[in-house]
Structure 1
């Protein structure tokens, strides 16, 4: 539950993060921003249609696809939210980082071929496009578009929350200006370059983050005195910090949390639209073969940043080797600035700027497409002119950026928890209708509609309402939250996102089977979609 996990931490806008004040780091940051903007301009010159803007015209190869897939999942969450969760809850967070690589393997196995085939069979551009083709229902298309738009606002907020810290660390500006300035640069970059720019920026920053993760791990082990010393210091402070399930809740609750996060971040990966729509972009089917291990291994290596920096910083604080003058959200940037050399710090922080920009670009593109393309089509008012649709899509980027900025400004949730909430929202909405729908001929449009509604409502009730209660004293909101907490059947520490995923899958299966029994006749699967179900 987001309310319980936000604990007593201060709001995201803080001034405790150190400032680089180093010409090398400032130079890296400046050059990287210029490169990002240059890639955006290059992408703009290559963007002539909505297809170019959203899926790069099916033009990318194996390594670019795999590293782009890994980087859109890692990004600001991995560098800010990851160390934050490890620092705050110890080994609890490792259930995310150990299981997420499995999510890449699962996603590739069950969806890569099918999503790419759909892009050829019906020339789909978005996830709601694909769901309309599968279920032949405007209700499914519209609800899918709504789910994408809502989830994008939360997910984009995660990256903007990380961006404000990085902007302050590099350039020394207050975090509020880092937030507003970063959002403005992001909007400019996204409106110019579309997905073409995002893919190549993803590729560049992915390579940089993999290299940087190795250096951060080495520095963290050195300053922490090695893993044995780090574990000893943590165990002396609280044995649960290095236990198999960490400190989030008591012994039994921590086990439930670990299992829930295992489900959420392995199975839930296949419901992330910013990941699975990347399969549309591959040049052909043959390049999909090695993408899964490349993405999984890359993610595992990059997770060394969260694992080592979070544990090392907590161990040093517990051993009295440094004061905790920072908030949990600032652990990643603080460690890099205080304990690595200028070149490594500049490289990592600059790469993170690129990561946030490119990942946010992916979110903005799928969210804007939902607003400008999917929802209007579901309402029977499609934009028929391609150039007009492209411009409306670009205009929708501004609305989403403003909404996400507002969420960051007012939210008190940890960056990592905000990331888990948005991940869970997408997982509950799309794992049932996409994974089961593209692997089971018996999947029904009624099951899809029911799963989408239940998945979204469950997350709104058990995540959004508690988060709203944490930032306002409004009596109605507080009363609603009391009812929500009373009706939640699990300990507050157990993430509602995982429960919503399981509930949505059960609803989807039950309603689909019921539809087969009570709907006469059940529609036949179109002939051109049969290849999707061939092994």
Structure 2
């Protein structure tokens, strides 16, 4: 369904204002970016409030604002198990690792999560393996580009194939020069706006917007299989059983291990702000997934769309004044961009920092901390930003069916590999380098065997894991963590002197964990 010409006109006007805003913020970020570390992390550059909203917006992504409503449009209230469970797992994981990542990463000068793992375990091998696996973030980038393309198609009248290139250009407008400073400040503004929109959608569903009878009328107008008393569906791999739903929660505990999220911890001004940051991010992050209810409301109203993922802008266009619908739709477009920018920065750092500065330079006998190396790494970062964006856009000329599931092809591999070394290594100082490597390899191998292999057509696999990346990731997460713990019992623990050097400023606990001494 095409929106009215009036909505399109207003949407272009709001988009023009948005472009001016991000160009200005990009210039601000460029002025604050004088080194590779500035570009990669914006280290210590932000307070808890801005960073909390930026983190929540980055976690949410185009999946929350379009993919989950799209799933809810097709599946009904049961999609809420995904929308409402994932932030609980994701922010639980954040609370486990944020403080240690900030403290240890700042001490070591880590510029990415693969870099942090290499510094934490004094293992160039682990850094290199983690960097290769981090390239799976490209699937995540592609999913955001697809979401943006659908928005351009729906609210601005651009063909999808044109819209995705427009979205790529929009990202490069401020990322290429502003780096992480521009990424975080734009994400903070977009995150605050999106919290307001999610609350609005929640109120619309409670009042039965466009229907008579409140939320009860919304439920009554759905197909029986979509109503709130239908919880599982054996034919739907995502919600095939309660076990699959539990694994969805478990998978998200490791969600914060993704490089574009973990590197946000480096940007906070100091560890004394960590608690306030986590509280801000957690509250905002719990509100944003309420966007899934827009899909439920659209289905209840009988709105027809060519693509389920486009239900949010179409719902706004059909049920609200043109100027309001246009503003809300452009705000959602900006929120989608808020995840894509952080992802692109994270992928560019794989090449600039992890492959070049921390691997190639030492291998050639150079000094990775030299000014010349830093300037070359900064150049590689900016070139990498352009290349990653162009590749991501070119790869999604034909869009996938469900964004939420497509992007998890990459997310699942990263979480399955990283979770043992990152979570167990953050909680237990004594975790050995060998145990971390065992957990890394075991988690990814299991995820590949039960999900990626079947997805690549190598063999059929076992249902629902062959078709359910969340359940497969949940198992990969458990295997990675358990194998790290078990391997640590049969390997020599990290020497005390090394642990003290890595965890400088921390106090050891009797069980091998750490607490902050602030």
Residue pairs, 1:163-312, within 5 angstroms: 163-220=148-205, 221-225=208-212, 226-234=214-222, 237-239=223-225, 241-243=227-229, 245-247=231-233, 249=235, 253-265=240-252, 267-306=253-292, 308-312=293-297
- Select which of 107, 112, 125 maps to 1:139: 125
Partner of 1:513: 489
Q: Contact 1:21–1:170 at 8 Å: present in 2 too? A: no
Q: In the TM superposition, what is the alpha-carbon distance from 1:467 to its structure 2 partner?
A: 4.4
Change (3 A) 1:459 1:396: farther
Residue pairs, 1:343-358, within 5 angstroms: 343-358=323-338
2: CA distance, partners of 1:78 / 1:31:
24
Q: In the TM superposition, what is the alpha-carbon distance from 1:165 to its structure 2 partner?
A: 1.2
Q: In the TM superposition, what is the alpha-carbon distance from 1:214 to its structure 2 partner?
A: 2.4
Q: Contact 1:92–1:254 at 8 Å: present in 2 too? A: no
Q: What is the TM-score of this pair, normalised by structure 1?
A: 0.85
2: CA distance, partners of 1:410 / 1:454:
33
User: Which deviations, in whole Å up to 9, do the C-alpha atoms of 1:320-342 show, x marking residues without a partner?
Assistant: xx4x3422121122212222233
Change (3 A) 1:327 1:442: same
User: Which deviations, in whole Å up to 9, do the C-alpha atoms of 1:209-254 show, x marking residues without a partner?
Assistant: 11122223334431244211111222xx224642363446379933
Q: What is the TM-score of this pair, normalised by structure 2?
A: 0.88
3-state SS of the aligned residue for 1:303? Answer: helix
Q: In the TM superposition, what is the alpha-carbon distance from 1:490 to its structure 2 partner?
A: 5.1
Change (3 A) 1:420 1:486: closer
- Select which of 345, 359, 371 maps to 1:378: 359
Partner of 1:528: 501
Change (3 A) 1:510 1:411: farther
3-state SS of the aligned residue for 1:486? Answer: coil
Q: Contact 2:14–2:327 at 8 Å: present in 1 too? A: yes
2: CA distance, partners of 1:490 / 1:240:
23
Q: Contact 2:245–2:471 at 8 Å: present in 1 too? A: no
3-state SS of the aligned residue for 1:290? Answer: helix
Q: Are 1:117 and 2:90 counterparts?
A: no
Q: In the TM superposition, what is the alpha-carbon distance from 1:199 to its structure 2 partner?
A: 0.7
1: CA distance, partners of 2:444 / 2:39:
28
Q: Are 1:436 and 2:424 counterparts?
A: yes
Q: Contact 1:208–1:348 at 8 Å: present in 2 too? A: no
- Equivalent residue pairs, number: 494
- Select which of 312, 316, 322 maps to 1:342: 322
Change (3 A) 1:216 1:130: same
User: Which deviations, in whole Å up to 9, do the C-alpha atoms of 1:374-431 show, x marking residues without a partner?
Assistant: 1232352576521111001111122322332233224534111123333323321222
Which deviates further from its counterpart, 69-78 or 25-34?
25-34
Q: Between the two structures, name the one with larger relative contact order (CA 8 Å, sep ≥ 6).
A: 1
Partner of 1:391: 379
1: CA distance, partners of 2:143 / 2:201:
22
User: Which deviations, in whole Å up to 9, do the C-alpha atoms of 1:31-75 show, x marking residues without a partner?
Assistant: 112211221122112211011111113111111111111000113
Partner of 1:73: 59
1: CA distance, partners of 2:140 / 2:428:
29
Change (3 A) 1:244 1:110: farther
Q: In the TM superposition, what is the alpha-carbon distance from 1:168 to its structure 2 partner?
A: 1.9
3-state SS of the aligned residue for 1:242? Answer: coil
User: Which deviations, in whole Å up to 9, do the C-alpha atoms of 1:334-379 show, x marking residues without a partner?
Assistant: 2122222333322322222322333212111111111121123235
1: CA distance, partners of 2:14 / 2:276:
32
3-state SS of the aligned residue for 1:289? Answer: helix
- Select which of 433, 442, 461 maps to 1:486: 461
Q: Are 1:313 and 2:298 counterparts?
A: yes
Unaligned runs of 5+ in 2: 507-512
Q: In the TM superposition, what is the alpha-carbon distance from 1:285 to its structure 2 partner?
A: 1.6
Partner of 2:509: none
User: Which deviations, in whole Å up to 9, do the C-alpha atoms of 1:113-171 show, x marking residues without a partner?
Assistant: 11121133222221122111211111101011112222x20110111010101122332
The CA RMSD over aligned residues, in Å, is 2.6
Which deviates further from its counterpart, 110-119 or 440-449?
440-449
Q: Contact 1:90–1:246 at 8 Å: present in 2 too? A: no
2: CA distance, partners of 1:257 / 1:233:
27
Q: Contact 1:442–1:513 at 8 Å: present in 2 too? A: no
3-state SS of the aligned residue for 2:109? Answer: coil
Partner of 1:328: 308
Which deviates further from its counterpart, 25-34 or 139-148?
25-34
- Select which of 25, 30, 34 maps to 1:39: 25
3-state SS of the aligned residue for 2:104? Answer: helix
3-state SS of the aligned residue for 1:409? Answer: coil
1: CA distance, partners of 2:244 / 2:2:
30
3-state SS of the aligned residue for 1:441? Answer: coil
